[in-house]
């Protein structure tokens, strides 16, 4: 089992920044990568970014590329999502997930993740 706890969400004006954190505990060695997804009301959960624990390769959705940065601290078993130039359409509940897969093809779909955090709300006002 892997436990994930997100933090750092909140209310911010358009153009502002937030940094989300996801702390992992338990059998963290079983996960190959971590990802961030988001879900707005009435919409499906969508991929935001992912990072491999080993090597630090990163992957982004086109909608956030150049604005968001995913990073990890292996010593702390923590993954971060730095969000800059936020837009009202970034408003959603943000979830982090842990994936046991090493193949990149799994990272952009929620089905590629075995464990999820409880989510943290991000609201961007216009």
Give DSSP secondary structure letters for the chain.
Answer: -EEEEEE--EEEETT--EEEEEEEEESGGG-SEEEEEEE-TTS--EEEEEEETTT--EEE-TTTTTTEEEEEEGGGTEEEEEE-S--GGG-EEEEEEEE---SGGGTTSGGG-SEE---EEEEEE-
Which of 25-29, 35-39, 50-54, 89-93 has the lowest average pLDDT? 25-29
Query: Does 55 score more than 90 pLDDT?
Result: no
Report pLDDT for 34.
96
Mean pLDDT, residues 39-63: 95
pLDDT band at 105 (very low <50, low <70, confident <90, very high): confident
User: What pLDDT is attached to residue 96?
Assistant: 97
């Amino acid at each position: 089992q892997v436990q994930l706890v997100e933090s750092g969400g909140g209310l911010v004006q358009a153009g502002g920044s937030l940094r989300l954190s996801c702390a992992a505990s338990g059998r963290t060695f079983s996960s190959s990568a971590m990802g961030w997804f988001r879900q707005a009301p009435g919409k499906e959960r969508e991929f935001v970014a992912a990072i491999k624990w080993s090597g630090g390769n990163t992957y982004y959705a086109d909608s956030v590329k150049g604005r968001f940065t995913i990073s990890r601290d292996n010593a702390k078993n923590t993954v971060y999502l730095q969000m800059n130039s936020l837009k009202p359409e970034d408003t959603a509940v943000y979830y982090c997930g842990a994936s046991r897969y090493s193949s990149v093809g799994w990272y952009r779909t929620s089905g590629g993740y075995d464990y999820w955090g409880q989510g943290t709300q991000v609201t961007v006002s216009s």
